[in-house]
Amino acid sequence: MGKFESQAKDLLTAIGGKENIKAVTHCATRMRFVLNDDSKANVNEIEKISAVKGTFTNAGQFQVIIGNDVPIFYNDFTAVSGVEGVSKEAAKSAAKSNQNPIQRVMTMLAEIFTPIIPAIIVGGLILGFRNVLESVGMPWLGQQIADGAKVFDADGNPVWNTITMVSPFWSGVNHFLWLPSEAIFHFLPVGITWSVSRKMGTTQILGIVLGICLVSPQLLNAYAVAGTPAAEIAKDWVWNFGSFTINRIGYQAQVIPALLAGLSLSYLEIFWRKRIPEMVSMIFVPFLSLLPALILAHTVLGPLGWTIGKGISFVVLAGLTGPVKWLFGAIFGALYAPLVITGLHHMTNAIDTQLIADTASKTTGLWPMIALSNMAQGSAVFAYFFMNRKNEREAEISLPAAISAYLGVTEPALFGVNVKYVYPFVAGMIGSALAGLLSTTMNVQANAIGVGGIPGFLAINVKYMVPFFICMAVALIVPFILTIVFRKANVLTKAEDEKLASQAALTDVTAETSAPVASTTTSAVATVSSIHSPLAGEVKPLSEAVDPVFAQGVMGQGVLVEPSEGQLVAPMSGTISVLFPSKHAVGLVSDEGVEMLMHIGMDTVNLDGKGFTAHVAQGDKVAAGDLLISFDIAAIQAAGYPVETPVIVTNHSDYQVDPVGTTPRHVSRGEDILKATKL
């Protein structure tokens, strides 16, 4: 009998039986199912199985979190179910068949925009900082420093100058920072066409070249089109072919033209690959793909995308500035969090960027409401933490989720707590709706996008800072109070009540039937084990992980390391407990009994071992500092995956796990990053 045979049978029954499974595979920590009917999966029964640490649904896959023992569980499950596992790519393909056309489009948009989000966030932070330097006025008393900065007016009253007007240093900093902010937003089409080619599996350098051809300095800048007379464009900004002309106009900061152009390039390349012999494909496929795509971009797709983009921004702008803008703000504020659950929120990135490109003020009223929604859901989950702070497991999940939401990433809060228990989710929606209503009523505007949650105030236009802080107060306070009120009044608490009842029943049964089990660890109580960094790089809080399962601490407690070198070494002396075939993750049990997991990158299981080299085998004894895995950081990033690496203690119920030192900070291999105290 396999180790998990009985539990595998329970999972098979709870998931709806063999006939409900379209495909099954696994990664380093979880079983991944594609089900014929998601409603047949009994989540409550599944989460009662002792080996199961939780469930999670994403991109058409129903994921059951197991932990380090997932390969053993997977083998037992396939044995008892008779369902043959498939590759990760096959599972992803099957998952797409569970999605309707809108979900497929949103999934594609998510996969295109996700790789460029870090650049957008950086750009938003830079623009926010420049916003402060250029717009915050103060009565600078004392010596006049910069040319043009008056300290006193003719009547002797102090003059309110901005920081850049007074300080040559900060004026220089502001001027220098214009460079990366322009690179990110003005040349955004280059990032989009590259990301499209990456997602479609076509030649990425062709995508980059196409993007450059959309923003070349030889074209009339998109920002200058509105102010340039049509006669001047017809005379000076065209390609003249004798019998006809084509407007020579750029698409700086334009999203939809770049998206359409990138898709045309990829589909052309896929078309020609199937029809041109391989021996000459290197010559003809790039030529027959890039040139027609470029022609289409400047004749049909670019103007069409520009028109569609302006139409969308016109409709949204009408909602933001029209006579019932308060109603638009309330509806958008309430619905943004549900949009995150469906994935439709990725479309708002494109709309926000389009608004900034199209409006005369170069601002957007949509992004402030997104930041407020982040805060509202964060306050709802923080209230849940406050009420359950003495419940160790619930606190471990809810507090990091609240912090993450306050910093602009709401998925851990939504999937880990709010949607699961309903009433915090509704409280967050109500608070967000009220904040959105106020935001549109007071016409709050942002100069940039990308900075969400509480830090989002940096992106707000300075003259709207005070109104935004009022909206922030509503988004932070109302959901917190409502969550507590709903719980005490038993409003929308059925999901949590059922879970509490099932836990109580399970505790009673366990108390009656179970006998004490000796600990498998060898450490005495209060023994402290030092855990060294297996990587060189920047160590950060685990709650900042992209994957909600790691961010919520479901798999274990520890830290996140952004590696600067592609070598992973043993953090302690011990035995390799698991090494995945894809070599992207490795488990280790230390000589003291600390069970650890190191997972290189996020979703890197999809690389099937490409870019990874294992230097140990499962069952090997290793000493602290021994090389375990080598990996190619550039290859992982080029494939579009984050390289951040969770370093966690998975048997954290046996150990108190505490970070060593402050975060974020740079660490070297072998430097202490965690201590595990035996409970």
What's the CA gap between 288 and 293, in Å, rounded? 9
69-73, 160-164, 392-396, 520-524: the lowest-pLDDT one: 520-524
Any catalytic annotation for residue 471? no
Binned at pLDDT 50, 70 and 90, residue 185 comes out as confident
In this prediction, residue 103 carries a pLDDT of 61
The set of residues, in sequence order, having a beta carbon less than 8 Å from that of 279 and lying 6+ positions away, is none
Task: Evaluate if residue 632 carries a pLDDT over 90.
Answer: yes
Binned at pLDDT 50, 70 and 90, residue 159 comes out as low
In this prediction, residue 382 carries a pLDDT of 94
User: Which amino acid is present at 552?
Assistant: Q
- Written out in words, the top-level CATH class of the domain with range 528-678 is mainly beta
Residue that wins the pLDDT comparison between 72 and 392: 72
Nearest to 602 by CA among 646, 569, 663, 567: 646
User: Which amino acid is present at 540?
Assistant: K
Residue that wins the pLDDT comparison between 456 and 94: 456
Report the relative pairing of strands 54-58 and 655-659 from DSSP bridges: unpaired
The catalytically annotated residue of 27, 369, 370, 570 is: 27
The set of residues, in sequence order, having a beta carbon less than 8 Å from that of 463 and lying 6+ positions away, is 135
Task: Evaluate if residue 679 carries a pLDDT over 80.
Answer: no
Per-residue tokens: 182: 């322009």
Query: pLDDT per residue over 500-546, tens digit each?
Result: 655 554 444 444 433 333 334 455 667 788 999 999 999 998 888 87
3-state secondary structure 602-615: CCHHHHCCCCEEEC
Contact 5, 80 (CB under 8 A): yes
Query: pLDDT per residue over 372-384, tens digit each?
Result: 999 999 999 999 9
Q: What is the DSSP letter of 157?
A: P
Task: Evaluate if residue 330 carries a pLDDT over 80.
Answer: yes
Q: List every span in the chain annotated with CATH 3.30.1360.60.
A: 5-98
What are the Cα distances from residue 404, in Å, to 29, 285, 411, 458, 551? 22, 45, 8, 17, 8
- CB burial string 623-658: b at 16+ within 10 A, e below: ebeebbbebbbeebeebbbbbbbbbbbbbbebbebe
Residue that wins the pLDDT comparison between 268 and 178: 268
Query: pLDDT per residue over 208-261, tens digit each?
Result: 999 999 999 999 988 788 778 889 988 899 999 988 999 999 988 788 889 999
What's the CA gap between 138 and 32, in Å, rounded? 57
Q: List every span in the chain annotated with CATH 2.70.70.10.
A: 528-678
Query: pLDDT per residue over 266-309, tens digit each?
Result: 999 999 998 998 888 888 999 999 999 999 999 999 999 888 87
The predicted model gives 100-122 an average pLDDT of: 71
Sign of the four-CA dihedral 108, 114, 117, 119: negative
User: Residue 138 belongs to what H/E stretch?
Assistant: strand 137-139
Contact 678, 525 (CB under 8 A): yes
In this prediction, residue 156 carries a pLDDT of 59
User: Residue 24 belongs to what H/E stretch?
Assistant: strand 21-26
* Mean pLDDT score of the chain: 82
The architecture of the domain spanning 5-98 is: 2-Layer Sandwich (3.30)
What own/partner pairs with CB < 8 Å and gap ≥ 24 does 513-516 have? Answer: none
Nearest to 364 by CA among 312, 404, 323: 312
In this prediction, residue 476 carries a pLDDT of 95
What's the CA gap between 627 and 629, in Å, rounded? 6
Per-residue tokens: 127: 């623009």
User: Which amino acid is present at 423?
Assistant: Y
**Lookup result for tokens 């969090």:** 337
Helix (H, G, I), strand (E, B) or coil at 621: strand
What's the CA gap between 218 and 417, in Å, rounded? 52
In this prediction, residue 472 carries a pLDDT of 95
Query: pLDDT per residue over 547-575, tens digit each?
Result: 777 877 767 889 999 999 999 999 999 99
In this prediction, residue 506 carries a pLDDT of 44
Report the relative pairing of strands 655-659 and 672-678 from DSSP bridges: antiparallel
In this prediction, residue 518 carries a pLDDT of 36
Contact 482, 434 (CB under 8 A): no
